[in-house]
């Protein structure tokens, strides 16, 4: 997803291989997993949840890419013959086949016939993640006990975000099909998004101004997005990686050291994005799926 720390307005509102290997071991990655590495190259595609936006150390500022993102950890554990990480903050499905900026060509350019494994994290920016967060955090300031954000998206009688998620489904499907066309032998792992807010539907107004009535609706919207991604993965010959279930209890409302997702005011990652522990958890889910 797009880095929410990329603008002043949003901010207001709202080392070595050994070290990487040690991290993946802590996640439960068995040393034997290296023997199960896929033949060929590993290519990582996706948005800021895959790039590790704001997680130290950032090695590509244009794409908010961290050397501790989940693709780096997966690569260290699997040790494929080659690795290419083209994940980029702000990426949508459009950027699979179109350049995102001067230093980020189409992500599909990284694919080739000898690619053996592809991970993909995409769809959040297609539904307007940054704008959703900005609107809900802003409106929650004025009606903390209500559901102002939900009301703003459903005032016509139709849930606009549900409609947008449905409209994004064929885009995700096309992305998966595009990978298969360019890397016909690759195993494709498509991740969902880990929990941002408490799974019980509660909120934490002292941490972030998301209204009480908006929190369960946002949780349900998040789950709807993940369900759509899982459905498209299954229908198009890819494997869905559930990053949500194990993230329950590690949302932005939890204290530092427990949370895997960062709140609005943070230096550990981009706001509303996975921190280093969150990226580790996503890597663990991918590694489990890759076995």
**CA dist 196 → 223, 229, 275 (Å):** 11, 17, 11
- In the DSSP assignment, the letter for residue 101 is B
Cβ pair 263, 201 in contact under 8 A: no
- Estimate the crossing angle of helix 70-78 against helix 276-290, to 10 degrees: 40
Cβ pair 122, 114 in contact under 8 A: no
Residues in the chain: 291
Q: Quickly count: other Cβ atoms within 10 Å of residue 291's Cβ.
A: 10
d(CA 2, CA 64): 9
Beta-strand (E) ranges in 90-210?
A: 115-121, 187-191
Which residues are catalytically annotated?
48, 273
Cβ pair 117, 290 in contact under 8 A: yes
């Amino acid at each position: 997803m797009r880095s929410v720390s990329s603008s002043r307005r949003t901010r207001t509102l709202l080392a070595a291989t050994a070290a990487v290997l040690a991290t993946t071991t802590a996640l439960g990655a068995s040393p034997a997993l290296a023997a199960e590495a896929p033949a060929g190259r590993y290519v990582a595609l996706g948005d800021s949840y895959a790039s590790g936006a704001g997680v130290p150390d950032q090695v590509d500022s244009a794409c908010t890419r961290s050397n501790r993102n989940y693709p780096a950890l997966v690569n260290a554990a699997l040790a494929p013959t080659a690795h290419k990480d083209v994940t980029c903050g702000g990426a949508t499905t459009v950027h699979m086949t179109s350049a995102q900026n001067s230093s980020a060509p189409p992500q599909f350019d990284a694919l080739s016939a000898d690619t053996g494994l592809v991970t993909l994290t995409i769809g959040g920016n297609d539904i307007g993640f940054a704008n959703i967060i900005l609107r809900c955090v802003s409106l929650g300031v004025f009606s903390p006990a209500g559901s102002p954000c939900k009301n703003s998206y459903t005032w016509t009688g139709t849930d606009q975000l549900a409609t947008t998620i449905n409209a994004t489904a064929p885009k995700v499907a096309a992305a998966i099909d595009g990978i298969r066309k360019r890397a016909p032998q690759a195993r494709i792992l498509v991740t969902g998004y880990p929990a941002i807010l408490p799974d019980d539907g509660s909120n934490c107004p002292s941490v972030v101004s998301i209204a009480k009535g908006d929190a369960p609706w946002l949780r349900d919207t998040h789950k709807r997005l993940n369900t759509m991604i899982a459905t498209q993965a299954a229908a198009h010959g890819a494997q869905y990686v559930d990053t949500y279930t194990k993230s329950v209890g590690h949302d932005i409302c939890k204290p530092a050291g427990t949370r895997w997702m960062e709140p609005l005011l943070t230096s550990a990652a981009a706001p509303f994005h996975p921190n280093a522990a969150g990226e580790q958890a996503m890597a663990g889910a991918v590694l489990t799926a890759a076995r």
